[in-house]
Amino acid sequence: MPASGNILIVDDDQDILVAGRLLLKRHFASVTTTTTPSEVPALMAKQSFDAILLDMNFGPGASSGEEGYQWLEKILEIDPEAVVVMITAHGGVNIAVDAMKKGATDFVAKPWQNEKVVATLSSAVQLRRTRSEADTLRKTNKLLSEGQAGVQQGVIIGSSAAMENVMQMVERAGPTEANILILGENGTGKELIARAVHEKSHRAGMVFMTVDLGAVSESLFESELFGHKKGAFTDARDDRVGRLVAASGGTLFLDEIGNLPLHLQAKLLTVLEQRKVTPLGANAPVDIDVRLITATNVPRSGLSNEDRFRQDLLFRLNTVEIELPPLRARGEDIPVIAAHFAALYAKKYDKQVKEFSPSACAAIEAYSWPGNVRALRHAVERAVILSEGVVFEAQDFSLGAPPNSPGDVVAPASTTNTPQEEGNLNLEKMEYTLIEQALKKHRYNISHAAKALGLTRAALYRRMEKHGF
């Protein structure tokens, strides 16, 4: 293996420098020496050192270590991640230990043993690389977080009084460490609001991690959130870091919290109370530091049912509660949101940007949009692809009669006009009908509708998009 690592030796004894250079140049890529500590800042400005070997005393008769402390402090001011190994005489071990308390990594005693010096500096070089990698990961996370924020911030659209109230809550709660529960129907933008809260917090530069509990099976819940050790169960071939640990320092967003079974709610509550998590197959708990944001489409009345949701867990989750209005409750925002998506998809599909006719505006404002913003987005995308006029007309959105709102009682399906009884066995139409019936039956609860159809949430979303729901 080629030698690697850049070493700087600072000592007023020229013999020490010569001996150190002759020894270390066989083990490391470069060895720089100086008898004058005042040269260290200039040397650090010109080159990055993986480890610095620094004497504790400079000048005849010096033994207090004060100069070593001062230059250690100066080096760490220049580079807080610097790895400094102190050089001391045998009688100065206590001084070197004090230096380690002030930020030094290790020490070697004069006269040194060659093997000890090489081993100590090899460990120091590895430590420096580990610190550099960790710093790079932190910076990368920050960039990713900023990039996500830029994308997400642009799609929170709306100036209605209802949305103004929501954004005011985000502004006030964001900078705190309070746990937040977001309530709202499917498609109202709960994850976007969670991201907005994260961006307003002191954790904005750290990771924002999302877990869709509706897509995590009960058997994988603990492995997904808590992690596991190799061999903890049949398919555990490697150690896995749980989401709670991976999000440490940042924000963890748990979507569909209302669908979590009671016995798993108890396990989540224990973790939140102790701020520790024990991976499956591990003996020792791991400390976690996450801000928790949760969301559900279950109404507040449903969460208050002790047979469905633990009230002690609810108290932990909803320090601040943000309820998102359905799209039908902020009709004045609909044309603005539709225009935004129309421009977005016109660019995506290389189509001409079109205006909305008065009849189109009236139609989309009057529609109850049971799928909320998500449904509006799909309808606009379809219109951009299929519309042939110079402006969007009402018929381009295939709205038909306004469907039942989520609170309405769904009428029984007709027993006379099904595709099967008319002899129409068109698979696409049958699929559309089944999806429509499942969505209405379960009041547009995607998780429940998907389960009824024997699909995953992701598969149902793909089919909804295909059919323009």
Q: Is the pLDDT of residue 100 over 90?
A: no
Q: Which residue has the tokens 């006719």?
A: 357
**Rounded Cα gap, residues 413 and 421, in angstroms:** 13
Q: How distant, in Å, are the alpha carbons of 8, 15, 181, 299 from that of 12?
A: 13, 9, 62, 74
Domain assignment present for 141 = no
CATH number of the structural domain spanning residue 379: 1.10.8.60
Domain assignment present for 303 = yes
Domain assignment present for 146 = no
Mean pLDDT in the chain?
84
Q: Are residues 363 and 458 in the same domain?
A: yes
Residues with Cβ within 8 Å of 70's Cβ and at least 6 positions away in sequence, in order, are none
pLDDT at 437: 86
Among 323, 338, 371, the domain boundary falls at 323
What average pLDDT does this structure show over 67-79? 90
Nearest to 255 by CA among 308, 311, 208: 208
Nearest to 281 by CA among 233, 241, 232, 244: 232
Domain assignment present for 142 = no
Domain of 432 in residue numbering reads as 328-467
Nearest to 324 by CA among 282, 394, 374: 374
Higher pLDDT residue, 93 or 244?
A: 244
Q: Count other Cβ atoms within 10 Å, centred on residue 445.
A: 22
Q: Are residues 367 and 267 in the same domain?
A: no
pLDDT at 376: 93
* Token pair listed for 183: 């309530």
CATH number of the structural domain spanning residue 86: 3.40.50.2300
**Rounded Cα gap, residues 79 and 41, in angstroms:** 10
Residues 135, 116: contact at Cβ < 8 Å? no
Q: Are residues 359 and 242 in the same domain?
A: no
Domain assignment present for 189 = yes
Q: Is the pLDDT of residue 36 over 60?
A: yes
Q: Is the pLDDT of residue 421 over 50?
A: no
Classify the C-alpha dihedral 270-274-276-282 as positive or negative: negative
What average pLDDT does this structure show over 358-375? 91
Q: Are residues 82 and 222 in the same domain?
A: no
Structural domain total, the chain: 3
Chain CA centroid to CA 261, Å: 24
pTM for the structure as a whole: 0.59
Q: Are residues 113 and 231 in the same domain?
A: no
Give first-to-last CA distance, the chain, whole Å: 60
- Write the pLDDT tens digit of every residue in 58-68: 877 677 778 88
Among 323, 357, 381, the domain boundary falls at 323
Percentage of the chain surpassing pLDDT 90? 46
pLDDT at 145: 54
Q: Are residues 267 and 408 in the same domain?
A: no
Q: Are residues 316 and 346 in the same domain?
A: no
Chain CA centroid to CA 233, Å: 27
**Rounded Cα gap, residues 130 and 116, in angstroms:** 21
Question: Quick one: CA torsion of 325, 175, 135, 153, rounded to 10 degrees?
Answer: 30
**Rounded Cα gap, residues 163 and 156, in angstroms:** 9
Domain assignment present for 173 = yes
* Token pair listed for 43: 């040397």
Q: Are residues 91 and 51 in the same domain?
A: yes
Q: Which amino acid type is present at position 231?
A: G
Lowest mean pLDDT among 89-93, 387-391, 404-408: 404-408
pLDDT at 66: 85
Number of C-alpha atoms within 13 angstroms, CB side, residue 164?
Answer: 4
Bridge partners of residue 89, in order along the sequence: 110
CATH number of the structural domain spanning residue 176: 3.40.50.300
What average pLDDT does this structure show over 360-372? 91
**Rounded Cα gap, residues 228 and 280, in angstroms:** 4
Among 323, 341, 365, the domain boundary falls at 323
Domain assignment present for 425 = yes
Residue 198, classified by CB atoms within 10 Å of its CB into exposed (0-12), middle (13-18) or buried (19+), is buried
Q: Are residues 124 and 190 in the same domain?
A: no
Instruction: Check residue 50 and report its DSSP letter.
Output: S
Domain assignment present for 221 = yes
Q: Are residues 302 and 190 in the same domain?
A: yes
DSSP 280-320: BT-SS-EE---EEEEEESS-HHHHT-TTTS-HHHHHHH-SE
Q: How distant, in Å, are the alpha carbons of 61, 62, 85, 106, 401 from that of 36?
A: 16, 15, 17, 21, 86
DSSP 23-36: HHTTTSSEEEEES-
Instruction: Check residue 411 and report its DSSP letter.
Output: P
Q: Are residues 284 and 414 in the same domain?
A: no
Q: Are residues 200 and 301 in the same domain?
A: yes
